[in-house]
């Protein structure tokens, strides 16, 4: 596969909307806590600290996120919100799939000229559910769902899929997960900024390695990857 151009493509907030559903729940959660006298600043601080403490153990996705919500209400003494948290988890898990602009038209073009691998993190059942609801599953030659995206993750991808770094690109919206560790592993990268990136994923793009290409929309990938490799 070393002579084939490989595109590793992130899912959440690259192919479809994801963070907006978490932001909606957080806003409703903070409003619900306010009714019990908890200030927004205290609620936000407690949630952030809880998520940062848990994320290395629970990983990502609706279940992990709502585990943190459960811990927060216990820490703040507002256990009456437990049933509502279960409803929020169900909402996030089954949210409608809203594709990012240009994805529906562009992905088939990329598929016809490249080898596409979906590389996303989170719970397998949740991510596969979103992929199937999206209708995009047929365009991927392989699917990898990982606990976290680290340099070791990308090194394993290179080994397991026999990738050649010079012809392999990681495409995503998160400098922390999609760009910097991929660059550190020697891959080429394309950054498509998302309008409301989760605070945990915000990070400066490292200057090392090949320069990261920055695009405004997913559709612009067609300009780079719909010609045959030399």
Handedness of CA 144, 125, 177, 175 (dihedral sign): positive
> For residue 198, is pLDDT > 90?
no
Share of the chain above pLDDT 90, in %: 84
* Pairwise CA distance, residues 206 & 6, whole Å: 22
Tokens 């300009």 locate to 223
Both tokens of 98, joined, read 């809203």
What is the model's pLDDT at position 202? Answer: 59
Is-same-fold flag (6-16+99-225; 19-93)? no
Residue pLDDT, tens place only, 5-50: 999 999 999 999 999 999 999 999 999 999 999 999 999 999 999 9
Query: pTM of the predicted model, to two decimals?
Result: 0.91
Burial class (CB in 10 A: 0-12, 13-18, 19+), 26: middle
What is the model's pLDDT at position 2? Answer: 47
> For residue 122, is pLDDT > 60?
yes
Phi (first) and psi of residue 6, to 5 degrees: -110, 135
* Pairwise CA distance, residues 165 & 32, whole Å: 48
**Domain residue spans of the chain:** 6-16+99-225, 19-93
* Pairwise CA distance, residues 141 & 98, whole Å: 22
Tell me which residue of 186, 171, 112, 180 sits closest to 150, measured CA to CA: 180
- For the domain 19-93, what is the CATH code? 1.10.150.240
3-class DSSP assignment, residue 9: strand
- Which residues fall within 8 angstroms of residue 155, CB to CB, at 6 or more apart? 185
Q: Categorize the per-residue pLDDT at 230 as very low, low, confident or very high, splitting at 50, 70 and 90.
A: very low
**CATH for 6-16+99-225 (1.10.20.10, 3.40.50.150, 3.40.50.1000, 3.10.270.10):** 3.40.50.1000
What is the model's pLDDT at position 196? Answer: 60
């Amino acid at each position: 596969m070393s002579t084939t151009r490989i595109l590793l493509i992130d899912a959440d907030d690259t192919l479809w909307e994801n963070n907006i559903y978490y932001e909606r729940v957080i806003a409703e959660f903070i409003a619900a806590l306010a009714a019990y006298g908890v200030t927004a600043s205290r609620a936000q601080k407690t949630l952030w600290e809880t998520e940062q403490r848990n994320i290395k153990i629970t990983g990502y996705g609706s279940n992990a996120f709502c585990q943190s919500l459960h811990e927060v209400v216990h820490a703040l003494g507002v256990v009456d919100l437990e049933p509502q948290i279960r409803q929020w988890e169900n909402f996030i898990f089954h949210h409608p799939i809203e594709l990012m602009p240009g994805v529906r038209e562009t992905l088939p073009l990329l598929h016809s000229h490249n080898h596409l691998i979906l590389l996303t993190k989170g719970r397998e059942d949740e991510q596969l559910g979103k992929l199937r609801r999206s209708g995009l599953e047929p365009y991927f030659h392989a699917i990898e769902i990982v606990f976290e995206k680290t340099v070791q993750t990308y090194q394993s991808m290179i080994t397991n899929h026999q990738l050649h770094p010079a012809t392999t690109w990681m495409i995503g919206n998160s400098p922390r997960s999609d760009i910097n560790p991929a660059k550190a592993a020697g891959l080429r990268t394309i950054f498509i900024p998302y309008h409301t990136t989760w605070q945990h994923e915000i990070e400066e793009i490292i200057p090392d390695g090949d320069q990261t290409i920055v695009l405004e929309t997913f559709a612009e990938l067609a300009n780079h990857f719909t010609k045959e490799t030399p």
